[in-house]
Amino acid sequence: MNELGKLSDLPQSYRDALADQNLVPLWPSLRSLLPPTIPARQTRPTMWPYAAIRPLLMQAGALTPIEKAERRVLVLANPGQGLERMQASPAIYLGMQLLLPGEWAPSHRHTPNAVRMVVEGEGAWTTVDGEKLPMSRGDLILTPTGLWHEHGHDGSDPVVWLDVLDLPLVHYLEASYHVNGARQAVSVERGESTHARGGVLPTAGFQSSASAYPMLRYAWRDTRAALEQQARTQASDGPVQVTFVNPTTGADAQNILGFHALMLRPGEACTLPARSPASVWHVIEGAVQVTAAGESFEMGEADTCCSPGYVAIGLHNRNADAPSFLFIADESPLHRKLGIYEER
């Protein structure tokens, strides 16, 4: 096959004439836009150890009061994407957020979807459209697009959580904005209490809410119990994984990003097939070795890493006598909606 022409092959006068009309020749860039077999990816396998993040986050708490920060966050930026772009992957933003005792992060709403994976501490809460949700380690809290939410802390020790947003995609679509609001009155029963048993839902017509997001808090105690129960009945030839879903539809909990929890039995090792979406891995409990694209990360509790798409993922529970548990965020719902999802 003949090599495609280069931009430098064209006379400067011709290039100037194209630029005057806001035109660009495709052929010099065609192979970079449509490379053979495997997409071009900027996302690099990257790990953010919590032991390094935590002291810097606590220092941020001392340096910047919540009134000046509104949301006191350190962004987990992927060096392959460029630190200034503040994203972990093409569609995933990550941030570690700190709330100190007595603080209140004011109510607002925004177009990007967000979730909070609680990393440490007790006594904090998030109110989402009038539903007050307590925050404990390992809990997953949804703050979907357009819903009012605020954070408060009635406890005595710092609380930290991992923010996961589809902000890079929404920003790229020129649809990212926020609106500030007043402090919310708590008036809504917690959705988790009406969706506490799998397969048993409020009868249509008897539901107190027609919310598109009927369950906003997925308590870690329930998720952990589900993984352990599944492990007792599933053959020990692979990891145990559950997906956080909308309990009334069975669809992904949010529209753009997917969220999962995975359990590795003591000493278990496995290789997950290459999939098109990028993914984020966060250790809730235990110690895990994550291998992706030639990089290997020795991860402990609260450590986070990410991987580009189209690469296999190796997992190894470094604990020989106890299970390890991971939280996973990925771009799979988006890829499925676009029709580009694949496994290799």
Rounded Cα distance, 68 and 90, in Å: 29
Per-residue pLDDT, averaged over 86-98, amounts to 98
Phi, psi dihedral angles at 311 (to 5 degrees)? -130, 145
Q: Give the pLDDT confidence of 305-335 residue by residue, as tens digits.
A: 999 999 999 999 999 999 999 999 999 999 9
232 and 265 in contact (C-beta within 8 Å)?
no
Rounded Cα distance, 110 and 214, in Å: 19
245 and 252 in contact (C-beta within 8 Å)?
yes
Percent of the chain at pLDDT > 70 equals 95
Percent of the chain at pLDDT > 90 equals 89
Task: Write down the pLDDT at residue 206.
Answer: 59
Spans of all domains in the chain? 46-195+211-338
Per-residue pLDDT, averaged over 196-219, amounts to 76
Where is 15: in which H helix or E strand?
A: helix 12-20
Q: Does the structure show a pLDDT above 60 at 208?
A: no
Task: Name the β-bridge partners of 125.
Answer: 134, 152
Task: Write down the pLDDT at residue 57.
Answer: 98
Look-up: residue for tokens 């939410």? 149
Question: Residue 329 burial by CB count (10 A; 0-12/13-18/19+): exposed, middle or buried?
Answer: buried
Task: Name the β-bridge partners of 298.
Answer: 289
Task: Write down the pLDDT at residue 193.
Answer: 67
Task: Write down the pLDDT at residue 203.
Answer: 72
Between 234 and 237, the more confident residue is 234
289 and 299 in contact (C-beta within 8 Å)?
yes
Lowest mean pLDDT among 27-41, 135-149, 156-170, 231-245: 231-245
Q: Does the structure show a pLDDT above 90 at 204?
A: no
Q: Does the structure show a pLDDT above 80 at 156?
A: yes
Rounded Cα distance, 260 and 243, in Å: 4
* Average model confidence (pLDDT) across the chain: 94
DSSP-assigned states of every residue in 151-180: EEE-SSS-EEEEEEE-HHHHHHTT---EEE
295 and 45 in contact (C-beta within 8 Å)?
yes
Fold of the CATH domain 46-195+211-338? Jelly Rolls (2.60.120)
Task: Write down the pLDDT at residue 3.
Answer: 75
Residue 219 CA: distances (Å) to CA of 213, 224, 245: 16, 9, 13
Ranges of H-type helices in 188-278: 191-194, 220-233
116 and 140 in contact (C-beta within 8 Å)?
yes
Q: How confident is the model at residue 271 (pLDDT cuts 50, 70, 90)?
A: very high
Q: Does the structure show a pLDDT above 90 at 1?
A: no
Q: Does the structure show a pLDDT above 70 at 205?
A: no
Residue 331 CA: distances (Å) to CA of 109, 199, 257, 298, 337: 22, 27, 5, 24, 10
Rounded Cα distance, 269 and 312, in Å: 13
Task: Write down the pLDDT at residue 238.
Answer: 82
Please list, residue by residue across 264-302, b when 16 or more beta carbons sit within 10 angstroms of its beta carbon and e when fewer do: bbeebeeebebbbbbbbbbbbbbbbebbbeeeebebebb
